[in-house]
Amino acid sequence: MSTTQTQAITPQLRQWIVEQAEAGHSADVVLKSMLASGWKEDVAVEAMESTLRGHLENKALQEGLPPALAVPDPGLDESPLYIDAGDRRVCVLQAMYNPRVVVFGGLLSDGECEGLIALAKPRLARSLTVATKTGGEEVNADRTSNGMFFQRGENELVRTIEARIARLVAWPEENGEGLQVLHYVPGTEYKPHYDYFDPSEPGTPTILKRGGQRVATIVMYLGEPDKGGGTTFPDVHLQIAPKRGNAVFFSYERPHPSTRTLHGGAPVLAGEKWIATKWLRERRFT
């Protein structure tokens, strides 16, 4: 086949790709075999990606999983060391694909961390969680921090950070819930949980009216504890150190444990931990 001709991704090709995957051949092996048969690399990669994505989605739906949603994501295909987040260059320290977890260095300056803490301090109260039975809010023994919410765009510092995050993970600012600041002292923690709303809970339809599902979370570390207080992902035995100015981003394309996004804030053992959490919804959050 001439290289100037467009190569068509036929149903037969898609079926062959699925058969190879089901026979246990790795993506690398299948790609090499396609290249050896004269497929152009970009066409082969696109054929494999779209076919396997579609195949996995069909399987997931057959197994009764909720459909996959579009999610925010920092573009890391070319493994950049830094991302231009508009007003700041943010470092990519670590990236994982399943679950999708990205650790950023220097998302916030020390001054911004201190500014958020100072604005939040007078407004702290015992943290609540969403009451999934009713769609309201409740005190929860699994979450023993104190916290507060800023309104979206409430002040210049909040607006700056919201714009930076929107650019960093390519997701509209208006889809974000208000920034939440949390304060943990020794002994307090946030036990492992999922940030999405469980579709089987009776209060979930009410919650979803305000912008649909949560699809991603960014936890920004504002103040470092001396010991403990890492953000944990128990399914994959991952723990992120709560280093000031750094942040962990994770996304979940369906409200289901198969995303492996179970996560928690480990108990603080010494010193104080301050974080700011930003939850991102499917649509405009109202």
- Identity at 216, one-letter amino acid code: A
Q: How many residues bind Zn ion (CB under 5 A)?
A: 1
Closest residue to Zn ion, based on beta-carbon distance: 195
Question: Which residue from 176, 225, 264, 267 is in contact with ligand PD2, where contact means CB under 6 A?
Answer: 264
Distance CA 208, CA 43 (A): 38
The nearest distance, CB 281 to Zn ion, in angstroms, is: 14
User: Based on CB atoms, which residue is closest to ligand PD2, 39 or 221?
Assistant: 221
Site string for ligand PD2, 198-227 (x = CB under 6 A): -------------------x-x--------
Q: With binding defined as CB under 6 A, does residue 228 bind ligand PD2?
A: no
Q: How many residues bind ligand PD2 (CB under 6 A)?
A: 11
Piece of 40-48, 120-128, 130-138, 190-198 that binds Zn ion (CB under 5 A):
190-198
For 141, residues 6+ apart whose C-beta sits below 8 A from its C-beta are none
223 binds, among Zn ion, ligand PD2, none (CB under 5 to 8 A by kind): none
The nearest distance, CB 100 to ligand PD2, in angstroms, is: 15
The DSSP 8-state label assigned to residue 143 in this structure reads B
* Cis peptide leading into residue 122 (ω within 30°): no
Closest residue to ligand PD2, based on beta-carbon distance: 265
Contact 83, 92 (CB under 8 A): yes
The nearest distance, CB 262 to ligand PD2, in angstroms, is: 10
101 binds, among ligand PD2, Zn ion, none (CB under 5 to 8 A by kind): none
Strands (E), the chain: 82-84, 89-96, 100-105, 125-126, 128-130, 137-139, 146-149, 180-184, 190-193, 214-223, 227-228, 231-233, 238-240, 247-251, 263-265, 268-270, 273-281
Contact 30, 22 (CB under 8 A): no
The nearest distance, CB 140 to ligand PD2, in angstroms, is: 12
Q: With binding defined as CB under 6 A, does residue 277 bind ligand PD2?
A: yes
Phi-psi domain of 157 (left: phi exceeds 0; alpha: psi -120 through 50; beta: other):
alpha
Mapped onto helix, strand or coil, the DSSP state of residue 14 is helix
User: Based on CB atoms, which residue is closest to Zn ion, 112 or 195?
Assistant: 195
Neighbour-count burial of 105, counting CB atoms closer than 10 A to its CB (0-12 exposed, 13-18 middle, 19+ buried): middle
Tokens of 264: 């928690």
Question: Which residue from 112, 189, 195, 253 is in contact with Zn ion, where contact means CB under 5 A?
Answer: 195
User: Based on CB atoms, which residue is closest to ligand PD2, 57 or 235?
Assistant: 235
Q: Where on the chain is the footprint of ligand PD2 (CB under 6 A)?
A: 182, 190, 195, 217, 219, 231, 263-265, 275, 277
Query: Which positions lie near Zn ion, rule CB under 5 A?
Result: 195
